[in-house]
Amino acid sequence: MTPPVVHIRDLRKVYVVSQQQAGARAALQGLIHRRKVEVPAVDGISFDVAAGEIVGFLGPNGAGKTTTLKILSGLLHPTSGEATVLGYAPWKRERSFLRQMTLVMGQRNQLIWDIPAINSFELNRVIYRIPVEDYRRTVAELTDLLDLGPLLHKPVRNLSLGERMKCEIAAALLHRPKVVFLDEPTIGLDVTMQRRIRSFIADYKRRFEATILLTSHYMTDVETLSRRVVVIHHGRLLFDGDLSILVRKFTSHKTIVVQLGDCQADLSSYGDVVSCEDGRTTLRVPKAETAHVTERLLADLPVIDLLVEDPPIEEVIERVFAQGAQ
């Protein structure tokens, strides 16, 4: 078996923060003495990512996702534990390692602001020592996949947020990294642009067999891109596995939609009535009783149609986070 591309064991990152009290007097006292507090951002997490895998990395704000990505891309030195990427210790920042990975941060930009993106591309070509032939081919491919054509020659400051993000992503992938860390690549973009970037990431993975670790606030990103998700909260691992298992595990209820023709009948004895529109009643039922309730509904009522659904993924994740917080 090939070794994992990303390997993390008992990873910890602790920040030392000096505390500041409110008020002018306390602030002046702080001139002389101040309290230091240790804040663990990542608190002993372990997981591996195999070659060619896409993993969705989930957690609420401040869970430690970005810290983990920064450790993996060599920007942060872990406090303790192991982290290797492609067999390298990232924080040593060996050039051969840096040439094989990339980090895209949705909220920051690396492109030079006042000049066209193509100039930044050219610069990356020499920085990553990409052969001219490969460079041309990759730019052509990326231009095609991301529809960059008219954007590359405009100053970056004149691009819209979505256009800029497309160029950012392209610039980060020119050297065809084997490992791609994406930190909120779709943040702030409209739905169409999000979809575009999502399908591009899927394409890129397929074409270049890249290993991708992706964080996102938008569940749709994770849902469409990765079967496997890693959920962390307060720096600890909550779940690692198939998205469908996560859903199953954290779903205590199912939704049953019954079509009866009108909204006259009182269905509250079958489950919680969420809504009723155009004769379609939505019921929330404990998972274990789904089969039983369905049977009763079909037996008792003139049902025209009946549908059993999982609750929306956002709701599930919210529950995961809520449980993690306890």
Partner 1 sequence: MKYLRLFGAFLRASIVGEAAYRINFFIQLFESLLSLGISLAGLAVIFSHADTLGGWRPDEVLALVGVYFLVGGVIGLVIQPGMEQLIESVRNGTLDFTLTKPEDAQFIVSIRRVEIWKLMDIVLGLGVLAAALVRLGQEIGVLQAAEFVGMLLAGAVIIYSFWLILATLSFWFVRVENILVIFQSMYEAGRWPVSLYPGWLRYGLTFIVPVAFATTVPAEALTGRLGWETMLGAVAMALVLLVVSRVFWRAGLRRYSGASA
Partner 2 sequence: MKAMVELYIQQFKTTLTMMFQYRASLLIWMIGQVLEPLVYLIVWSVVSASSGGSVGSYTTADFAAYYIILMVVNQVTYTWIMYEFEYRIREGGFSFALLKPVHPIHSDIADNVSSKVITLPVMILIAAGLGVVFHASISPAPWAVAMFIPVLLLAFLVRFLLEWTLAQAAFWTTRVGAINQLYFVLMLFLAGQIAPLTLLPSPLQAAAAVLPFRWLISFPVELLLGRLSPGETLVGLGAQVAWLVVSIVLMRIVWRAGLRTYTAVGA
Task: Report in angstroms how near the CB of residue 155 gets to partner 1 at its nearest.
Answer: 13
In contact, 319 and 263? CB cutoff 8 Å: no
| Cα 37 to Cα 12, 63, 64, 65, 315, distances in angstroms | 16, 18, 17, 21, 34
Task: Report in angstroms how near the CB of residue 271 gets to partner 1 at its nearest.
Answer: 48
At residue 49, φ and ψ (nearest 5 deg) are -125, 125
The entry of partner 2, partner 1, none that residue 195 binds, CB within 5 to 8 Å by partner kind: none
Token pair, residue 5, equals 């591309």
Task: Report in angstroms how near the CB of residue 274 gets to partner 2 at its nearest.
Answer: 44
Task: Report in angstroms how near the CB of residue 115 gets to partner 1 at its nearest.
Answer: 16
**Interface segment toward partner 1; rule CB under 8 A; list 16-24, 146-154, 244-252, 260-268:** 16-24
Nearer to partner 2 by Cβ, of 33 and 92: the residue is 92
How many angstroms separate the CA atoms of 210 and 322, rounded? 33
Nearer to partner 2 by Cβ, of 75 and 306: the residue is 75
The entry of partner 2, partner 1, none that residue 114 binds, CB within 5 to 8 Å by partner kind: partner 2
Nearer to partner 2 by Cβ, of 153 and 248: the residue is 153
Among residues 1, 2, 16, 28, the one that binds partner 1 under rule CB under 8 A: 28
Q: DSSP per residue over 233-281, as a string?
A: ETTEEEEEEEHHHHHHHH--EEEEEEE-SSS-S--TTTSEEEEEETTEE
Q: Does residue 39 belong to the site contacting partner 1 (CB under 8 A)? A: no
At residue 115, φ and ψ (nearest 5 deg) are -125, 160
Nearer to partner 1 by Cβ, of 1 and 24: the residue is 24
Task: Report in angstroms how near the CB of residue 237 gets to partner 2 at its nearest.
Answer: 21
Three-class secondary structure of residue 16 per DSSP: strand
Token pair, residue 49, equals 């990512």
Residues that bind partner 2 (CB under 8 A): 15-16, 67, 70, 73-77, 91, 93, 95-96, 98-99, 102-103, 105, 108, 110, 112, 114-115, 119-120, 122-123, 125-129
How many angstroms separate the CA atoms of 182 and 189, rounded? 15
Q: Minimal CA–CA distance to 160: which of 134, 183, 128, 193?
A: 193
Nearer to partner 1 by Cβ, of 112 and 245: the residue is 112
What pairs with residue 233 in β-bridges? Answer: 236
In contact, 275 and 258? CB cutoff 8 Å: no
Binding residues for partner 1, total number by CB under 8 A: 10
Nearer to partner 1 by Cβ, of 27 and 140: the residue is 27
- Name the residues that contact partner 1, by CB under 8 A: 20, 22-24, 27-28, 30-32, 34
